């Protein structure tokens, strides 16, 4: 058991601009007495979604028949172009909380549509993620690639035009680009990874090798949290992904953490600051408990 444990929080972690903006929109409507419903999971964080639910704000999976008494909010990840067109056509009242940087990805993707022959448009990202499903709708001819293997298997083209998911791993994207460079003489790259993603990834790259263990906090279905976990794991094999502070209430897990002299914390862009504070507090309490246990052991030995 380590005698002292130092706890460090990465320089950049937790809520990003897009998530704060979406929550501000919803909370201010709620405070003004509007009834609100959100299309899809507003963000990929269970505790935030539970808080919204407690306020009577539900996330609905389909917007075919939204409740007409409620204001519909479009989630941060955006929706496909045709779905938005249908909302307008049907006169559905909605407020778009799509992150402006996700909107920018959609616009950039749409701008890649071209009549130039032998041009392949590529979206690098998770094809099952709502952000990428929405972005692809702006350029149906685009192909989505999400692995080195898929990049290698791509056919060569005279022109390749590329965009990338806002929450992609910066190093992974650079690697994919290096593969695509061998597939064309005309590679046109639009790096649409958002700045919040970049700074969070940089911060954990710096912190992870300097500590004995790393805790990554965020939804298991959160794309940017999974990237942070993988980046941290490459730098530190003692990396753990938890969703919320109560996941630490596990004796086996805390037993492991007690072995470390230092722990770093990072959190995905949809993790609230209160959750990071709770984890920091929990780990600091663990430190004082270690001291107490150690002192108690010493006293017992002295007494013996
Ligand atoms: S991670 Fe980036 S793109 Fe996604 S909501 Fe936050 S700021 Fe917007």
What CATH number is given for 102-193 in this structure? 3.40.1010.20
Residue 304, pLDDT score: 44
* Cα 111 from Cα 106, distance rounded (Å): 9
Terminal Cα-to-Cα distance of the chain (whole angstroms): 21
Atom of ligand 1 nearest to the CA of 99: 8
Cβ of 98 closer than 6 Å to ligand 1, yes or no, is no
Residue 186, pLDDT score: 97
> 0.85 cut: is pTM over it?
yes
Task: Identify whether the C-beta of residue 226 lies closer than 8 Å to the C-beta of residue 199.
Answer: no
Going by the DSSP 8-state scheme, the letter that residue 13 receives in this structure is -
**Distant-in-sequence, close-in-space partners of 160: CB < 8 Å, separation ≥ 6:** 119, 120, 121, 122, 180, 183, 184, 186, 187, 188
Atom of ligand 1 nearest to the CA of 195: 2
* Cα 85 from Cα 231, distance rounded (Å): 38
Same fold: 17-99 with 102-193:
no
Does domain 17-99 fall under CATH 1.20.120.1200? My reply is: no
Each domain of the chain, given as residue ranges in start order, spans 6-14+196-303, 17-99, 102-193
Q: Which residues of the chain have pLDDT under 50?
A: 303-304
By alpha-carbon position, which residue is closest to atom 8 of ligand 1?
18
Residue 3, pLDDT score: 60
Rounded to the nearest whole angstrom, what is the distance from the C-alpha of residue 141 to the centroid of ligand 1?
A: 25
Plot region of 242 (φ>0 → left; ψ -120 to 50 → alpha; else → beta)? beta
**Kind of pairing, strands 143-145 and 36-39?**
unpaired
Rounded to the nearest whole angstrom, what is the distance from the C-alpha of residue 102 to the centroid of ligand 1?
A: 7
Indicate the burial class of 143 (C-beta count within 10 angstroms; 0-12, 13-18, 19 or more). middle
* 131 is known as an active-site residue: yes
Does domain 6-14+196-303 fall under CATH 3.40.1010.20? My reply is: yes
Rounded to the nearest whole angstrom, what is the distance from the C-alpha of residue 285 to the centroid of ligand 1?
A: 32
Residue 275, pLDDT score: 94
* Cα 26 from Cα 36, distance rounded (Å): 7
* Rounded alpha-carbon distances, angstroms, from residue 192 to 166, 168, 172: 6, 9, 13
- Give the position of tokens 């500590």: 211
**Given CA atoms 259, 260, 265, 266 in this order, what sign does their dihedral have?**
negative
Tokens of 201: 């990834």
Indicate the burial class of 185 (C-beta count within 10 angstroms; 0-12, 13-18, 19 or more). exposed
By alpha-carbon position, which residue is closest to atom 7 of ligand 1?
18
Instruction: Catalytic residue, from 131, 174, 243, 259: name it.
Output: 131
């Amino acid at each position: 058991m380590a005698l002292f444990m130092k706890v460090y929080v990465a320089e950049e972690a937790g809520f990003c601009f897009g998530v704060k903006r979406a929550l501000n929109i919803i909370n201010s409507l709620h405070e003004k007495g509007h009834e609100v419903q959100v299309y899809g999971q507003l963000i990929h964080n269970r505790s935030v979604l539970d808080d919204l639910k407690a306020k009577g704000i539900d996330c609905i999976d389909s917007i075919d028949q939204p409740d007409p008494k409620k204001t519909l909010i479009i989630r941060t990840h955006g929706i496909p172009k045709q779905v938005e067109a249908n909302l307008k056509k049907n006169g559905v009242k909605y407020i778009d909380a799509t992150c402006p940087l996700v909107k920018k990805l959609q616009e950039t993707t749409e701008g890649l549509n071209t009549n130039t022959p032998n041009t392949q448009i590529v979206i690098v990202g998770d094809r099952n993620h709502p952000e990428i499903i929405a972005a692809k709708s702006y350029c149906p001819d685009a192909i989505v690639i999400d692995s080195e293997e898929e990049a290698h298997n791509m056919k060569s083209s005279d022109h390749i035009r590329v965009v990338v998911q806002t929450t992609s791993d910066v190093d992974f994207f650079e690697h994919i680009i290096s593969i695509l460079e061998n597939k064309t003489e005309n590679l046109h790259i639009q790096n649409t990874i958002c700045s919040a993603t970049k700074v969070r990834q940089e911060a954990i790259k710096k912190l992870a090798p300097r500590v004995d263990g790393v805790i990554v906090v965020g939804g298991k279905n959160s794309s940017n949290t999974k990237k942070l976990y993988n980046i941290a794991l490459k730098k530190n094999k003692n990396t753990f992904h938890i969703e919320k502070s109560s996941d630490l209430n596990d004796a086996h897990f805390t037993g492991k953490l007690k072995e470390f002299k230092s722990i770093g914390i990072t959190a995905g862009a949809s993790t609230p600051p209160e959750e990071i504070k709770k984890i920091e507090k929990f780990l600091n309490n663990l430190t004082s408990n270690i001291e107490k246990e150690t002192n108690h052991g010493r006293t017992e030995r002295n007494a013996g």
